[in-house]
Amino acid sequence: MASSVFHAPCGAPSIKQLECQKYVGLRPSVTLRFNCVKTKTVTTRRLVVTASKSHDGTTKKLGISDAECEAAVVAGNIPEAPPVPPKPAAPAGTPVVPSLPLSRRPRRNRKSPAMRASFQETNLSPANFVYPLFIHEGEEDTPIGAMPGCYRLGWRHGLVQEVAKARDVGVNSVVLFPKVPDALKSPTGDEAYNDNGLVPRTIWLLKDRYPDLVIYTDVALDPYSSDGHDGIVREDGVIMNDETVHQLCKQAVSQARAGADVVSPSDMMDGRVGAIRAALDAEGFQHVSIMSYTAKYASSFYGPFREALDSNPRFGDKKTYQMNPANYREALVEAQADESEGADILLVKPGLPYLDVIRLLRDKYPLPIAAYQVSGEYSMIKAGGALKMIDEQRVMMESLMCLRRAGADIILTYFALQAARCLCGEKR
């Protein structure tokens, strides 16, 4: 144990019954005692400080003034600092080598959690998340088999409760996807612009409960089409572009009329952003934003989503309108068109397999960039976690951070609630 001795004039106030574990710079089982020593010239008090090796972090001031502390130091009575800890020993057999002549050692900035946090270049917040929610006409919340933890929510009750949970942890943006009854589906998807349909009713309800909630909507015909495609299908199987855009404009206006903040055309028809912008403006909805699915690839990662909405194509695939996963430069063509037509946000879908495309759009365009971490990405992480093959929470957070690092300002993710709780320190 180390001892420090302080000398001060007897005029200094005495300290009685000190609780030694509560003093600044001393260890918990510190013992303090004052001894008055009579000399020929002056009576002094001697403070003996004995510090133990244990320390619980609780401290308390000594009770002497700053001037007295300074006077003691000037007089040469400098308190001893804790000893420098010994250098940790290397394991037996470690070779003894000269230090490398490096002027730059990047590991210096990674040596402690505090330093790593100081120099972190990318940050993740619940405000970056948009929470995709599946809704249906029923009263019960129906689990989605391919997406553990996700449900088709009853629009009157389950949805409202889920939105409340998300808002509690800072997620205040949602995007709605409807499971439409088969009896309301048609080849032209007319139910998509029914002002009393499932989506408009849901928007009215949410805006009544939470006026500041940011509501994104999906603009596409596939949930409403008896063919399961994003557009009107001609009898020879061709997806009709301009006729579909006409329907999408009516759908977007209907959603805006109900109170949507952002309409999101996900259909990948040519020219639909400009047409929707013109239709919204003509109806007085200049304040409604457009988030365009700019680079939506014909991906195999969408399977669980189509189960959730029962929207698999009745025949064929979507490769004549969604992008080829092999293409990179084509994303610039789509982005240039969407920007010029009035898009407010450019979205890349899927997310993780297309980080290079997210970065491409981030570097080329000043508009906000969105990324969609799609159902297949979500389900793979969930499955890996359930099988104990990965740490679900760590992989979830890393995947979201990667999307942010690539350049996404917002992320549509089914992990929104779970990740926000993690960021807020909850373990539910």
- The residues annotated as belonging to the active site are 296, 349
Q: Are 270 and 338 in contact (CB under 8 A)?
A: no
- The answer to whether the Cα torsion of 373, 131, 264, 247 is positive or negative is positive
Amino acid at 113: P
3-class DSSP assignment, residue 58: coil
Residue whose pair of structure tokens reads 């092999």 in the numeric block = 326
3-class DSSP assignment, residue 152: strand
DSSP per residue, 31-44: EEEEEEEE-SS-EE
E strands present in 71-226: 129-136, 142-143, 151-154, 173-178, 214-219
Q: Are strands 214-219 and 2-9 parallel, antiparallel or unpaired?
A: unpaired
Give which of 168, 312, 115 is closest to 227, Cα–Cα: 312
Alpha carbon 338 to chain centroid, angstroms: 26
Name the β-bridge partners of 131: 174
